[in-house]
A and B are shown apart, each in its own frame.
Chain A
Amino acid sequence: MKKPLTFSQVANYLILIGGAIFVIYPFVYMVMNSFKTGAEIMNAPTSLPNKPTLIGYTGVFEKLNVGRLFVNSLFLSGTVTLLNTTLSAVGAYAFAKIPFPGRNQIFGFMLLTMMIPGILFLIPSYIMLYNIGWVGRFEALIIPSAVSVFSIFLIRQFMIGIPNELIEAARIDGGSEPVIFVRVIMPLIRPALATVAILTFMGSWNDFFGPLLYLNKPEQWTLQLGLLQFRGTVPGENAEQIWALTTLITVPIIVFYFFMQEQFIKAFANVSLSK
């Protein structure tokens, strides 16, 4: 037997669905306009494309080497994610499960560094990387992000829950620490690794400021920087290319998100619980 909907439930649904439409509409607007001509975008921005055209997309591909930008974005985000997740997990293992002299002091210092606002590093890092010749090189964005306090902290919180007996048993059996890490720990911390990997990948893929500062040659641009090339001085200029490129940037991450939504949402919820 289904219970009939009460008035307040109907009101709940109305507000919630209204909110959902409000959130989704701009994305629909973006995709819709990416299939129009510039004139049609100007005159009828809110209607469905009259005669769907790919002129925006061809415009983008003519002006930019989109494949190259896509590969750059993917290479950058992929490398950072792989390095950051691995090195942070290794560090987290030491902080959670290997008692060594000075461990608590190093960990305390690490937590302290989390309180420093990122903005402070902006200028001195730029000067330093400029002086060692990394401006205009991918290293400038990869190496400093190869491990992070935030990831170490998240994975460590998760690892603390693993019973020590499990690790002690493996140690008695003669397993060395790297072997224990790979064989015993890695399979057990998959959810934490997924969390860190998703957050790192997203941050890196959507990063704008870093590439803006360090990747100054067109062949190194990421998708995000490509967008700047179409920014005109007159409103409505390049409109069809802008909508096509924003659609191209957004669709991969949305598809990825819809397949992995549980992990994405858990990734963010985990962050709030680990505090």
Chain B
Amino acid sequence: MNTAIAKRRARWWNRVRRSWWGYVFVSPWVFLYLIFGLYPLLLSFFLTFFTYSFPNPANQTFVGVGNWIQGITDPLFWKSVGNIGVNQVIFIGLKNGLGLLFAVLLSRIGFGARILRTIYFLPVITSTVVLMTIADNMVAPGGHIQRWMSDVGLIHEWIFWKSQEGLPMLVLALINTWKWFGISTVILLAGIYGIDKRLYEAAAVDGANDSQMFMVITLPMLRPQLFFLLVIDVINGLQMFTEVFSIGFDVYGGIRNQALTPVLYLYAQAFDRSNVGYASTLGLLLAIMIAALTALQFKFVRSDPEV
């Protein structure tokens, strides 16, 4: 009995010795993750049960689930969730719709497809702060876009979009569509190039026209790419911060908090009001929502078992 265990142990030890380099090679990630990943996560969870003001950590008092109750009932937090929800529905629909349109059109032309694709991708690689500075200038009252709209008679007076009811999140969604649709185009175009040409030939023999082919072949075959884009968009989009901050809204999202996003609110709580415990709670609430949405997508939208 003992010898059997000893033998097993010896064999195990042998494997460990042979695979020693495996441990060495993964150790940078393991150590860095324990220190800069797991520890902050636990700390964050711990902090949600305290009030903790930043420069003086000594003012730490236990409040139980107080922060959680405050978060769940905080109208400003829900306002920010509503704002980002509206923004993302518009943004995700437009960005991927436009991306799909341009990918399909690009797949139908030969000459010039590469240079056009390169151009559409330009805003994707450019810094958000720079693009928001340009956009801020162009959409401002009296800016380039409004002058043009006024010239063609679409508007009759300058629109102060940052303070007008309902506009900030819509305008930000349009600007972000401009910045990001190129990535959908590139990914969907790669997907279209990967579709077996014989499917289209067979459909042509059966007398299908272009739009029928699109609905029956192209769209279903692009489900993995569309699913991927949707998952990534939801995870990234709900964490929007830099856009709002760098286009010049204050940390409470401007007039009537119209541009307040959850991360902006969290930033305001942590670095403006120094409510670190409460900000941690908001972060966890947001993370739970993102995780739940991602799980829902995997359950209902998922394209096939392999993806």
Contact = CB atoms under 8 A, between A and B. Distances in A.
Interface in B24-77: 24-26, 28-30, 32-33, 36-37, 39-41, 43-44, 47, 54, 57
Interface in A197-221: 202, 205-206, 208-209
A91 B30 CA distance: 10
Q: What does DSSP make chain A's interface, helix, strand, loop or mixed?
A: helix
A117 B239 contact: yes
B144 A46 contact: yes
How many of chain A's residues touch chain B, expressed as a range?
Answer: 35 or more
Interface stretch (B132-140, B198-206, B213-221): B132-140
Contacts of B116: 16-17, 19-20
A268 B118 CA distance: 12
Contact of A100 (B16, B44, B125): B16
Of B134, B224, B225, most A-chain CB atoms within 10 Å? B134
Contact of B130 (A24, A113, A246): A246
Nearest to A224: B129
B164 interface: no
How many of chain B's residues touch chain A, expressed as a range?
Answer: 35 or more
Contacts of A95: 26
Nearest to B147: A46
B21 A178 contact: yes
Interface of A: 9, 12-13, 15-17, 19-20, 22-24, 26-27, 29-30, 45-46, 87-88, 90-91, 93-95, 98-101, 103, 106, 110, 113, 115-128, 143-144, 146-147, 149, 152, 176-178, 181, 202, 205-206, 208-209, 224, 227-228, 231, 235, 239, 242, 246, 249-250, 253-254, 257-258, 261, 264-265, 268-269, 272-273, 275
30 contacts: A9-B108, A16-B116, A23-B123, A24-B119, A26-B134, A26-B135, A29-B138, A94-B24, A94-B25, A100-B23, A103-B26, A110-B29, A118-B239, A119-B287, A120-B40, A123-B279, A124-B39, A124-B40, A144-B36, A147-B32, A206-B127, A206-B128, A209-B242, A224-B127, A227-B130, A246-B134, A249-B127, A272-B225, A273-B190, A275-B228
Given A20-B116, A100-B16, A147-B29, 9 more contacts: A23-B123, A27-B134, A87-B29, A101-B15, A124-B43, A205-B127, A224-B130, A227-B130, A253-B127
